[in-house]
């Protein structure tokens, strides 16, 4: 908290290569802080922190409008085309400690593509990494961002019909994190769409009683 009329939420984006992880971080920030492009190899090799400006009109505290600031930690993907799992884990652990070690992490956002099925092996690898990063309470601090939702929409799916047709692997994951998920288009989202996403994230954080996960150092 900067003051009683301002709140900062700390987020980290996690996911495999070409899921739109860095692009999702840019959408949340309303900027282009993170490099995001089509590439046959993993683009992100280190952690980097992006910060939004003051965002108004999303929340009120004690009857008064409060400003929101968003901080997003972009991370190397896993699996990564050049880094081992251990290197990715250690890099993200150090990044969490450096940037959120004092204020804590509000949410880890697992980025998955809505236009690709989630397979059991992929889920197991991803969940194992998140457990190693966040510890035993990872489910309370994890939400899923389903990117490329515009492609699912073009194929005729609504959110409801998409989830009805989704793999049991994805549905099991969403159930384990108490259905904290958000659909996100892969193009540059407009301010109104961004505000809808941020309101959903604030709702997840509120339901978790504004708790934060503190990661001071590698465990």
Read off the pTM.
0.91
Contact by Cβ (8 Å): 74, 42: no
| Of residues 51, 52, 65, 48, the one with CA closest to residue 5 | 65
Helix (H, G, I), strand (E, B) or coil at 113: strand
Residue 50 burial (10 A CB sphere; 0-12, 13-18, 19+) = buried
Q: Tell me how far CA of residue 19 lies from CA of 50, 86, 114, 171, in angstroms.
A: 19, 20, 9, 18
Q: Rounded to whole angstroms, how far apart are CA atoms 37 and 179?
A: 29
Query: Torsions phi, psi of 217, nearest 5?
Result: -160, 170
Residue-by-residue pLDDT tens, the chain, 219 positions: 445 689 999 999 998 888 888 889 999 998 888 877 665 556 677 899 999 999 998 988 777 888 999 999 999 988 777 788 899 999 999 999 999 999 999 999 999 999 998 988 888 888 899 999 999 999 999 999 999 999 999 999 999 999 999 999 999 999 999 999 999 986 767 788 899 999 999 999 999 999 999 865 444
Structural contact between residues 134 and 108, judged by C-beta atoms closer than 8 angstroms: yes
Is 62 within 8 Å of 47 (Cβ atoms)?
Answer: no
């Amino acid at each position: 908290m900067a003051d009683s009329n301002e709140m900062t939420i700390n987020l980290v984006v996690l996911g495999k290569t070409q899921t739109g992880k860095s692009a999702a971080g840019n959408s949340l920030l309303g900027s282009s802080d993170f490099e995001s492009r089509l590439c046959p190899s993993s683009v992100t090799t280190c952690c980097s922190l992006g910060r939004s400006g003051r965002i108004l009109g999303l929340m009120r505290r004690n009857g008064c409008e409060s400003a929101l600031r968003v901080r997003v930690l972009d991370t190397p993907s896993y699996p990564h085309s050049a880094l081992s799992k251990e290197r990715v884990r250690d890099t993200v652990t150090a990044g969490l400690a450096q940037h959120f070690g004092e204020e804590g992490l509000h949410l880890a956002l697992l980025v998955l593509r809505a236009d690709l099925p989630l397979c059991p092996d992929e889920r197991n690898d991803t969940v194992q990494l998140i457990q190693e990063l966040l510890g035993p309470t990872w489910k309370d601090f994890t939400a899923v961002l389903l990117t490329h939702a515009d492609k699912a929409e073009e194929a005729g799916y609504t959110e409801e019909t998409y989830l009805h047709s989704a793999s049991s692997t994805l549905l099991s994951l969403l159930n384990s994190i108490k259905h904290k998920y958000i659909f996100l288009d892969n193009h540059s989202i407009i301010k109104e769409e961004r505000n809808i996403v941020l309101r959903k994230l604030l709702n997840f954080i509120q339901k978790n009683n504004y708790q934060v996960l503190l990661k001071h150092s590698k465990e």
